[in-house]
Amino acid sequence: MWATRLGLILAMAGNAIGLGNFLRFPVKAAQNGGGAFMIPYFTALLLLGIPLMWVEWGIGRHSGRYGFGSAVGGLGKLCRSSRLSLFANYLGVLGIVIPLAFAIYYTYIESWTLAYSFFSITSRYAGPPTLEGMSGFLAGYQGREFNDQFSGLGTAAVFFILTISLNLYVLSRGISKGIEKLAKIAMPLLFLFAFILLIRVLTLGTPNPDIPENNVSNGFAFLWNPDYSHIKNASTWLAAAGQIFFTLSIGTGSILTYASYLKRRDDIVLTGLTTSMTNEFAEVILGGSISIPVSVAFFGLLQTTQIANGGAFNLGFVAMPVIFYKLPFGSVFGMLWFSLLFFAGITSSVALCSPAMAFLQDHLKFSRQKATLFIGSILLFGGFAVLLFLKHGFLDEMDFWAGTFGLVLFALVEVIFFIWIFGINSAWTEMHEGADLQIPKIFKWILKYVSPLYLVGLIIFWGYQDGIPILLMKQRNPADIPYLWGARLLILGLLILFLIFTYKSLNRKKTISNININIREREQI
């Protein structure tokens, strides 16, 4: 159980607030029409984000009532038919494998933030950093292109192992003493560091008087002035929906697991809404007000556009260190920036590992320590594959199937079982049990029809636009194809492993049930 309601809210917020809030969101907004991006963004929040949050909270608390902390068992308890329940339990394996595969490469990216916190405070960068120099520094650290700063992957491996160790320590401590305690420390520090950086950005003004148009005000204008031509593009709506999934951790199964530790009459309507709004504040207000505006102030609109088009990593790990170097006490601000990202990362990564932890303890009767070591072995093995083969597209391949397509697929499964099979009226009653706030009745219609159709549309569009080219490996370097197959086989291997575990678990329960029936029959004789 959660020790306090505040701890629950902070842990749920920590689950949602991740690297995407500060790295991915500002880049996606800048790439897709600035202020115009917020129209499909908030549409997706209302029609997908918040409704699906309530769905996962509802499934989680309902499954926790029966002693299940994951989708395996949890989905089965939504079914009245024993055969459908059996099928649902096997389908629930997606809610274990998708977040675990996500966590494998997420913890590796998270380790970059820990490393860069150290690099910033110790001025590890060679000479005055430039965009070209920091791009080479990042490439060397990642092993994509070794140079004078990095001749191997030893430094990256050390910080990766340290990051995994910190994650496993938190997981080994349990819910109240581990995850909740981490959230109570990390989340206040994250917001404190974000506010310090935001104040520094707002007081920056015009760094170069010779180029007066390069200022923070124009940076905000670049990010938020709407370019309505993007509204007509389906890609903008897909990007907005994808960002909502990424930022709220929908479809990962981690919300479901966290909610399973609630008491029967704990409010999930208001608490779920509170964590959603906390995440939106962190993303839209804080995440949208730091990196892009300060980048425009130092590099101008044109170069910032080029940086944003280069991706979130270029903005966070290339442009920001150059900016901090030019500021008084820049090493401290750099440390605060990357520490903020690390806190955002670790609160999310422990959440991604939680469904697998719950499954191993619920179904295989692993002790928490044994489950932690098992998960740690998977993270270490899979993570080193990502570390070694990053330059061959290993991470990107896993990110699409686990961190993009997989999230939407599992979210659709959750909606179908909770709203259609369990029943909209039963689901509505479940969500409102113990609630201090009544959900507007229009959400009944949204949950039953709009959200599922929205999800089906995303799967179709992503499948056609990205899935088919990625599946067929079109326009990929032939030398990279074996590594891309390796990423797929890693995910497939996890799926097969947990399907076997589920089969053994369900058979054992069936055997125990038959034994109990035989005992009762003999007693009656």
E strands within 65-179?
Answer: none
What is the set of domains in the chain, with CATH numbers? 5-524 (1.20.1740)
CB 117 within 8 A of CB 94: no
Distance CA 283, CA 217 (A): 19
CA angle 52, 54, 58 (to 5 degrees): 115
Distance CA 97, CA 93 (A): 6
Residue 283, φ and ψ in degrees, nearest 5 = -80, -55
CB 295 within 8 A of CB 307: yes
Chain centroid to Cα 193, Å, comes to 21
- CB-count exposure of residue 34 (10 Å: 0-12, 13-18, 19+): buried
Distance CA 118, CA 97 (A): 32
In tens digits, what is the pLDDT along the chain, a chain of 525 residues? 787 888 888 999 999 999 999 999 999 988 888 888 999 999 999 999 999 999 999 999 999 999 999 999 999 999 988 899 999 999 999 999 999 999 999 999 999 999 999 999 998 875 668 899 999 999 999 999 888 889 899 999 999 999 999 999 999 999 989 999 999 999 999 999 999 999 999 999 788 888 888 999 999 998 888 888 888 887 888 888 889 988 898 989 999 999 999 988 899 999 999 999 999 999 999 999 999 999 999 999 889 988 988 877 999 999 999 999 999 999 999 999 999 999 999 999 999 999 999 999 999 999 999 999 999 999 999 999 999 999 999 999 999 889 888 898 999 999 999 999 999 999 999 999 999 889 999 999 999 999 999 999 888 887 777 778 888 888 889 999 999 999 999 999 999 999 999 999 988 766 555 545 454 544 454
CB 16 within 8 A of CB 227: no
The residue to which tokens 């719950």 are assigned: 358
Residue-wise pLDDT for 343-386, tens only, equals: 999 999 999 999 999 999 999 999 999 999 999 999 999 999 99
User: What is the pTM for the complete model shown?
Assistant: 0.93
Residue-wise pLDDT for 460-510, tens only, equals: 887 777 778 888 888 889 999 999 999 999 999 999 999 999 999 988 766
Q: Which residues pair with 34 in a beta bridge?
A: 226
CB 72 within 8 A of CB 93: yes
Distance CA 307, CA 299 (A): 10
Distance CA 258, CA 64 (A): 9
Residue-wise pLDDT for 231-254, tens only, equals: 888 788 888 888 998 889 898 999
- CB-count exposure of residue 82 (10 Å: 0-12, 13-18, 19+): exposed
